[in-house]
Amino acid sequence: MRRKMVAGNWKMNMTPSQAVRLAEELKPQVSSEEVDVVFCVPAIDIVPVAEAVKGSSISVGAENMYYEEKGAYTGEIAPDMLVDAGVKYVIIGHSERRQYFKEDDAMLNKKVRKAIEHSLVPILCCGETLEQREEGVTLSFVKQQITSAFESVPAEDAVKCVIAYEPIWAIGTGKVATTEQAQEVCGAIRENIRELYGEKTAEQIRILYGGSVNAGNAAQLFAQPDIDGGLVGGASLKPEFAEIVNYKKEN
């Protein structure tokens, strides 16, 4: 049985003091025994948010990480800095990083491997553009993103990773994928993992859906057989996030 996960992606929002306020506000409402809850926050907010959620079941995640250990990479964050600050998860390959910061599949594979080396759990993002969906190449495109990200990653490590399927056209647009569309691609991703690693890994790995998840659509999306929770952007900055985490109690 896969545990559900709801991860908030705060993106480039919240100063450290705002972040602490939000974390403290959400903390009592999102401490769930059934769902793994993660706040993925801007790098500068990691230390104060980790402090704010101490003693709760909430984990702190980073939104990015570099693939080198240390050295002359001005402005980058090393994996052991994240670990030392109390981070458990790291988003890798969000479409905004692929698009605005030119992160490509080869770089993302290095990041995935480096995160694993430091026992950080990568939340690996994948997903197609609207054009690709309209051209009918969604499944092959996502398959290639996944295959490339997991290159040289052994099964015992792959199984600990989290994959987030986020169709780019559904991110921040209010245009959520239909449950059928989301399930179809998440199912195909699981099939891809089955081809790469076999049945056991495919059954255990968690696959999230992301893209305009809100309190109104979470329950239906998370009820799909291959959707193990959500990566939530906009709604993670609001009390609505608690309703998403508690999606089972809402209906």
Enzyme catalytic residues: 94, 166
The answer to the question of residue 61 lying near ligand PGA (CB under 6 A) is: no
Q: Which is nearer to ligand PGA, 8 or 79 (by Cβ)?
A: 8
Residue 60 pairs in a beta bridge with: 39, 87
**H or E element, residue 94:** none
Least Å distance, CB 155 to ligand PGA, is 27
Distance CA 144, CA 194 (A): 14
What is the distance of C-alpha 41 from the center of its chain?
12
Least Å distance, CB 166 to ligand PGA, is 6
String of contacts with ligand PGA for each residue 4-33, x by CB under 6 A: -----x------------------------
**H or E element, residue 121:** strand 121-126
Stretch binding ligand PGA (CB under 6 A), from 22-30, 54-62, 111-119, 207-215 = 207-215
CB of 228 within 8 A of CB of 202? no
Q: Select the residue interacting with ligand PGA from 77, 116, 161, 171 (CB under 6 A).
A: 171
CB of 190 within 8 A of CB of 205? yes
Among positions 100-159, residues that touch ligand PGA (CB under 6 A) are: none
The answer to the question of residue 211 lying near ligand PGA (CB under 6 A) is: yes
Distance CA 34, CA 3 (A): 7
Q: Select the residue interacting with ligand PGA from 32, 201, 212, 246 (CB under 6 A).
A: 212
Nearest to 29 by CA among 243, 214, 212: 243
Q: Which residues bind ligand PGA (CB under 6 A)?
A: 9, 166, 171-172, 210-213, 231-235
